[in-house]
Amino acid sequence: MADDKKLTTRDADFSAWYNEVVLRSELADYSPVKGCMVIRPNGYGIWERMQRQLDDMFKATGHQNAYFPLLIPESFLHKEAQHVEGFAPEAAVVTHGGGKKLEEPLIIRPTSETIIYTMFAKWVQSYRDLPILMNQWANVVRWEMRTRLFLRTTEFLWQEGHTAHVSEAEAEEEARKMLGVYRDFMEGWVAMPVVTGRKTDSERFAGALRTYSCEAMMQDNKALQAGTSHNLGQNFAKAFDLKFQAENGATEHAWNTSWGVSTRMVGGLVMTHGDDTGLRVPPLLAPIELVIVPIYRTPDEQTLVLEAAERIRKSLGDWDRREPARLRIHVDTREGMKPGAKYYEWELRGVPLRLEIGPRDLASNQGVLVRRDTREKRPVSLGILGEEVSDTLSRMQRDMLAAALDRREANSVRARIDYGAFKELMEGKGGFVYAGWCGDAACEAQIKDETKATIRCLPDEEFQSATKPTECLKCGRPSTVEALWARAY
């Protein structure tokens, strides 16, 4: 149960605010195992809604779900040189099973390329067997030293898409397509605007040819990498002998992609929309869209008001309601708790809409509808409540995206900036800086050392500045590409 102590404000300490919101709105809790978290029903409900929608989107783009084992032979990890370098340091290794030392140690999957492409190799003979378009919903383990609830935990939930194609062009199209699916989801459902683009070589996925990412700006002006899509080239196909007979009879290696998003998005949702009162959940992802709080003093009033609340819940929220779509409604019938305390708790949990109904409201067949995002309060006739609620929820979904977009743009710098000013900005309020880059990894590394800012991505065309930067932010040599710089989670 939420206590009445006020939350730390975002301005005072963003990181403390984040932890308090996650814990007090009961999204997640720390577990007895260091670095692992327990996702509580309020948090899991959001994840479930994310999962459902993404799953529909994956299927609409031709993918099927499958499941591969949690345990992977350790030798698999060593077959792709860059991959082992990237993942071996954070692998959890199983050395004993059934009371005996294992002949070959097994690792708990940090990601599943190695085992999935081993199986693809078994299933693919001819170009006719391609493409393979698969997705897996799973947990993975990466031994993290510094963990944060949802943002970086040793075990987390995710989906990993894995595909195999006949050509590089097809793989590239797939990697880009899924980046687009992620962007649509993050903007349309999480109401979290993202900048898409390619990662530099130093930020690329271990073993990939090219990595693309979705980068969102949190309210502390730091970037959150919310999803990635990789064109793996033939690197894994060569390591795992994934070959096919081409149409012309020649034997060729397949081209792979992989792409993933995780429970990290829940953390992104909190840091994009939360306020000093708590969470604000975008309506489409809210496990409860409307909470009804009955107000009464006497037992007679209680009967009257609870009956009315139940009528509303049934008429708008029951399973058999077809038109318009069923709303996710909860009636807060808890006794011995003041309405104000209930408001406080539901606001902390971020439920998008609240309906307050008391005997006087009922006498005039109305209730008071309160928006969580703007706190706007207005009387609504119960006769048109369903339409009012649906309309308001759609408006909220759009308004939340617009507000997040305004905030991001207000904290983005596109004008020419000298390195001194850039350093100062990164040490101060931060933000997204679009600036020129000479393409030299040494400049990238120096900036990271000196400012903790990294190239989040080389933004896709639509995010690039109207006036192209002419020189590198660090060395002043001619710029070869525009880069998006920020400190990141």
Question: CB burial class (10 A; 0-12, 13-18, 19+) of residue 47?
Answer: buried
- What are the φ/ψ torsions at residue 396 (nearest 5 degrees)? -60, -45
Using CB under 5 A as the binding rule, the residues of this chain from 455 to 484 that contact Zn ion are 472, 474-475
Nearer to Zn ion, 389 or 472 (CB): 472
Among 435, 443, 481, 483, binds Zn ion (CB under 5 A): 443
301 three-state secondary structure: helix
Using CB under 5 A as the binding rule, whether residue 438 contacts Zn ion is answered as yes
Nearer to Zn ion, 143 or 419 (CB): 419
Nearer to Zn ion, 267 or 436 (CB): 436
Nearer to Zn ion, 290 or 438 (CB): 438
Q: Are 230 and 250 in contact (CB under 8 A)?
A: no
Tell how strand 195-198 and strand 366-371 pair up.
unpaired
Nearer to Zn ion, 301 or 440 (CB): 440
Span near Zn ion by CB under 5 A; candidates 56-64, 171-179, 330-338, 443-451 = 443-451
Q: How far is the CB of 200 from Zn ion (least distance, A)?
A: 12
Which distant-in-sequence residues (6+ apart) come within 8 Å of 481 by Cβ? Answer: 436, 437, 439, 458
Cα–Cα distance list, 50 to 13, 46, 284, 364 (Å): 28, 6, 9, 39
Q: How far is the CB of 218 from Zn ion (least distance, A)?
A: 27
Nearer to Zn ion, 138 or 443 (CB): 443
Residues in contact with Zn ion, counted by CB under 5 A, come to a total of 6
Q: How far is the CB of 416 from Zn ion (least distance, A)?
A: 15
Other beta carbons within 10 angstroms of residue 72's beta carbon come to 23
Q: Are 261 and 159 in contact (CB under 8 A)?
A: yes
Span near Zn ion by CB under 5 A; candidates 144-152, 225-233, 423-431, 439-447 = 439-447
Q: Are 66 and 134 in contact (CB under 8 A)?
A: yes
Q: How far is the CB of 432 from Zn ion (least distance, A)?
A: 19
Nearer to Zn ion, 440 or 460 (CB): 440
d(CA 46, CA 38): 14
Using CB under 5 A as the binding rule, whether residue 183 contacts Zn ion is answered as no
Interface pattern 220-249 for Zn ion (x via CB under 5 A): ------------------------------
Cα–Cα distance list, 166 to 226, 243, 349, 449 (Å): 29, 10, 48, 41
Using CB under 5 A as the binding rule, the residues of this chain from 379 to 418 that contact Zn ion are none
Span near Zn ion by CB under 5 A; candidates 138-146, 402-410, 432-440, 479-487 = 432-440
How does DSSP assign 32-66, residue by residue? SSTT-EEEPHHHHHHHHHHHHHHHHHHHHTT-EE-
Which residue has tokens 């100062």? 424
Nearer to Zn ion, 169 or 441 (CB): 441
d(CA 348, CA 5): 12
488 three-state secondary structure: strand
Nearer to Zn ion, 173 or 440 (CB): 440
Span near Zn ion by CB under 5 A; candidates 242-250, 259-267, 438-446, 449-457 = 438-446
Q: How far is the CB of 441 from Zn ion (least distance, A)?
A: 10
Q: How far is the CB of 399 from Zn ion (least distance, A)?
A: 41
Rounded to 10°, the helix 14-24/264-273 angle is 110
Q: How far is the CB of 239 from Zn ion (least distance, A)?
A: 34
Token pair, residue 169, equals: 């062009």
231 - beta bridge partners? 210, 257
Span near Zn ion by CB under 5 A; candidates 91-99, 283-291, 362-370, 431-439 = 431-439
Nearer to Zn ion, 88 or 475 (CB): 475
Q: How far is the CB of 479 from Zn ion (least distance, A)?
A: 8
Q: How far is the CB of 488 from Zn ion (least distance, A)?
A: 20
Q: How far is the CB of 482 from Zn ion (least distance, A)?
A: 13
Residues found near Zn ion in the complex (CB under 5 A): 438, 440, 443, 472, 474-475
